[in-house]
Amino acid sequence: MERLEYGKTGLEISRLCFGAGHLNNVCASYAEGGELLRAAFDQGIPFWDTAEMYASQPHLGAALKGMERSQVVIQTKTGAEDDAGARKSIERALREMETDYIDVLLLHGVSSPEDLRSREGALSAFLDAKREGLIRVIGCSTHIYTGPVMDAVIDHPEIQVILATANKEGRMLEGGPLDRHLEYLQRAYDRGVGISIMKVIAAGHIPESEIEDWIRWGFELETAHAINLGISKHPQIALNARIAREHAQRRSRLRKAA
């Protein structure tokens, strides 16, 4: 499995990220979700993404039991807007995941420059928590939005990571065309921002026969440090890990031939 630095954050991640958003809906217990995450870890996927609103943070906590914490990179998100709300979210994340620190904490679903400005209180709490060693890296997700919001988050001095929608047809993307959105991702990448992409298979609203092609498109996007794929069962781990390994092997061969 390919590993690389997450922009200039200093974190090393797997290019394939386990999106844990569905675990609370498909797993009968936190332990079951934890077993799925550990199975992914065994396949070379130590980068896990969740969010407070997904109610899957406890699944990650179950997975961490018996593991060395430093072996995985955890990215979570909060929709909190003010200082007090963000502090509660940080405390909840640490408690539910039974960890002493969060690798990456994102403002969840920033939709516009105005929305970003409205969350400065939350960012202030993030910065305090970072100074206390509770958070290592700060960022945001722009969910399905592009356009002016991308300018705002790229230019913000405290945002080190951006999680954004990107797929081969620009489906679900709001605020501008795919080609322009890819230019934003390139600009952020060039600045050293860590880039994760989501909705790579358009939330599954494509024919099953096309899924591999859409996932491969994600891995071919050079500006994406991580391809965040929602995983809820073992066959998805096997499929996604195989595609990730095949792409890593091709990249390695191209580097050697250059």
In the CATH scheme, what is the code of domain 3-257? 3.20.20.100
The phi-psi region of residue 192 (left if phi > 0; otherwise alpha if psi is between -120 and 50; otherwise beta) is left
Residue 175: CB atoms within 10 Å? 16
How much is the pLDDT for 9? 97
**Which residues touch 242 (CB under 8 Å, ≥6 apart)?**
none
**Which residues touch 140 (CB under 8 Å, ≥6 apart)?**
106, 107, 108, 110, 116, 153, 159, 161, 162, 163
How much is the pLDDT for 101? 98
Residue 66: CB atoms within 10 Å? 8
Place of tokens 């969010």: 51
Tens digit of each residue's pLDDT (9 = 90 or more) over 5-25: 999 999 999 999 999 999 999
Is the pLDDT confidence value at 253 over 80?
Answer: no
Domain edges within the chain: 3-257
How much is the pLDDT for 258? 57
How much is the pLDDT for 251? 72
How much is the pLDDT for 254? 67
- Reading the block at residue 256, the tokens are 């050697």
* φ and ψ at residue 194, rounded to 5 degrees: -75, 130
Task: Tell me which amino acid residue 89 is.
Answer: S
